[in-house]
Amino acid sequence: MINNVVLVGRLTKDPELRYTQGGVAVARFTVAVNRTFSNQQGDREADFINCVAWRKQAENLANFMRKGSLVGVQGRIQTGSYDDKDGKRVYTTDIVADNIQFLEPRNATGGGGNFNQPSQQQNYGGQSNQFNAQPQQSYQNQPMNQQNYTNMNDDPFSAPSQGNAPQGSVDMSDDDLPF
């Protein structure tokens, strides 16, 4: 059945990358989408939407996007529930990302000098991301934002275990690289 979501917004924090026991990369992130209208106090509010990405998209996201980065997400809504430490049922709603577009990186806050956005770049020919990737940012070499959890099932906020880590030969190509 049709279950289709598109969001454009900013990461509220650095994405959180983990690996399942089977070694599959999963990234969790929250996208803040500002509303296009103001409330009665004249303020513009935002919706904070939890998202999950898998595999290469997860790794690319963790490597190239930061708190504040602008992203486009196409995916589907996934609902679930778990029991918290008080035995209380908590219902969850997440967007499972099928496709993520890196619209704008956020400069690294540290002294890294990475993700710099040259003012006079010539970026004809296609992709919308606006940064020059340095070799050391390659996801194969040293994933950033990575945490050392290995068992997602310890964490009630981890994505559910059934059916959402597409196994098999759906291996993504270099087309998933954001450049």
Partner DNA sequence: TTTT
Q: Which residues bind its own copies (CB under 8 A)?
A: 1-10, 33-41, 44-50, 70, 72, 74, 76-79, 88, 90, 93, 95, 99, 101, 103-104, 117, 119, 125-128, 130, 162-163, 169-170, 173, 175
Closer residue to its own copies, CB minimum distance, 37 or 141: 37
> What is the amino acid identity at position 178?
P
Read off the DSSP letter of residue 137: G
- β-sheet bridge partners, residue 111: none
Contact between residue 142 and residue 116 where contact means Cβ atoms under 8 Å apart: no
Provide the token pair at 107.
């400069």
Contact between residue 16 and residue 27 where contact means Cβ atoms under 8 Å apart: yes
Is there binding between residue 93 and DNA (CB under 7 A)? no
Is there binding between residue 30 and DNA (CB under 7 A)? yes
Minimum CB–partner distance for residue 23 and DNA (Å): 25
The three state secondary structure string of 44-99 is EEEEEEEEEEEHHHHHHHHHHCCCCCEEEEEEEEEEEEEECCCCCEEEEEEEEEEE
Is there binding between residue 91 and DNA (CB under 7 A)? yes
Alpha-carbon separation of residue 85 from 41, 88, 90, 152, 156 (angstroms): 37, 7, 10, 17, 10
Minimum CB–partner distance for residue 167 and its own copies (Å): 9
Minimum CB–partner distance for residue 164 and its own copies (Å): 9
Is there binding between residue 42 and DNA (CB under 7 A)? no
> What is the amino acid identity at position 62?
A
Is there binding between residue 18 and DNA (CB under 7 A)? no
Site for DNA in 99-158 (CB under 7 A): 106, 123-128, 157
Is there binding between residue 37 and DNA (CB under 7 A)? no
Strands 70-83 and 89-104: antiparallel
Residue 76 interacting partner from its own copies, DNA, none (CB closer than 5 to 8 Å by kind): its own copies
Closer residue to its own copies, CB minimum distance, 41 or 148: 41
Among 3, 4, 40, 79, binds DNA (CB under 7 A): 79
